[in-house]
Amino acid sequence: MALFDDILNEALTAPGLLEQIPEREAQRVEAEHRLDELLGLEPFGALPDISERAIQLIVAFEVTSEATYERRYRRPIWPKGQSGITIGIGYDVGYVTAAILEQDWRRNTSIENIAVLKDGCGRIGLAAKVLLDRVQLVNIPFQNAMAVFRNITLEHTIAKTIRYLPNSTELPSDCLGALVSLVYNRGASFLLSGERYQEMRGIYEEIKTRNFNNVPAKIRAMKRLWINNPDMAGLVKRRELEAVLFEEGLHGR
């Protein structure tokens, strides 16, 4: 068994490690910086695949497992901070329009559920929190959540990753998947200024110059942001798993 698999299994079985669902930084990055508009990037066509191990990583740190999802996440949650009402595998209703919500979910939940959730479109933070009781009628099974995750949310995140990281399409599927996991959590913040994003800028430079071997160290270095916060132990573990997955992808393990 590869090191990645060992560490992921440890994370899944460690008491409480994946119980906390922190606000995804990706939401705040997109809301505050409007990266797509800043760069004027066009959508991609056919997208490369990422590995199943990368998909397991993302799902584990969003909802832990199918069993945990069925117990804790079938109904909408509010992950605090600047999050909106969140359903499925990290799908934040607060950052989509009512039309997009309906388009994304119409094949995987009822018209009645969509109608209830539309009240949360465009509402984040405390404006979303007050809706939480009202949307508890919504109930989305794991298989439906996974269908939207794989076919819509994941595709969008892969597209965003390769837009902002020149040469990333040259990477093996494990390596690209590690970067997609990072973007799913922190957003495509590779060009943002400030000390908080220094490692993200470093990853951008390493991928741009094809110094792929240097990327895992940059991923590990950003642990400094959460290492002293016990509530963020899951994010520290996630960065380590992304670094290991990238390394194993480069070396064909």
Mean pLDDT of 73-93: 91
pLDDT digits (tens, 9 = 90+) for 180-234: 999 999 989 999 999 999 999 999 999 999 999 999 999 999 999 999 988 888 8
| pLDDT at residue 1 tops 90 | no
Beta bridge partners of 92: 86
Residue 119: pLDDT band (50, 70, 90) is very high
What is the number of alpha carbons within 13 Å of residue 182 lying toward its C-beta? 34
Q: What's the pLDDT score for residue 38?
A: 43
Angle between helices 52-63 and 173-186 (to 10 degrees): 20
| pLDDT at residue 22 tops 50 | yes
Q: What's the pLDDT score for residue 253?
A: 64
Q: What's the pLDDT score for residue 28?
A: 61
Q: Give the highest mean pLDDT range of 3-12, 42-51, 174-183, 224-233.
A: 174-183
**CB neighbour list of residue 218: distance below 8 Å, 6 or more residues apart:** 199, 202, 203, 206
Distance CA 146, CA 139 (A): 14
Residue 39: pLDDT band (50, 70, 90) is very low
Q: Where are the domains of the chain?
A: 3-71+141-250, 75-140
Q: What's the pLDDT score for residue 81?
A: 79
pTM of the model: 0.89
Q: Calculate the CA dihedral of residues 13, 16, 19, 24 and round it to 10 degrees.
A: -100
Q: What's the pLDDT score for residue 80?
A: 82
CB atoms within 10 A of CB 133: 8
Smallest Cα–Cα separation from 173: which of 43, 59, 47, 44? 47
| pLDDT at residue 130 tops 80 | yes
Mean pLDDT of 84-108: 94
Residue 51: pLDDT band (50, 70, 90) is very high
Q: What's the pLDDT score for residue 195?
A: 96
**Contact criterion met (CB below 8 Å) for 145 and 70:** no
Distance CA 25, CA 243 (A): 19
Distance CA 90, CA 86 (A): 6
Distance CA 100, CA 93 (A): 9
Q: Fold for domain 3-71+141-250?
A: Lysozyme (1.10.530)
Q: What's the pLDDT score for residue 35?
A: 44
User: Hey, what are 248's tokens?
Assistant: 């194993």
| pLDDT at residue 175 tops 60 | yes
| pLDDT at residue 34 tops 90 | no
What value does the mean pLDDT of the chain take?
89
Distance CA 9, CA 34 (A): 36
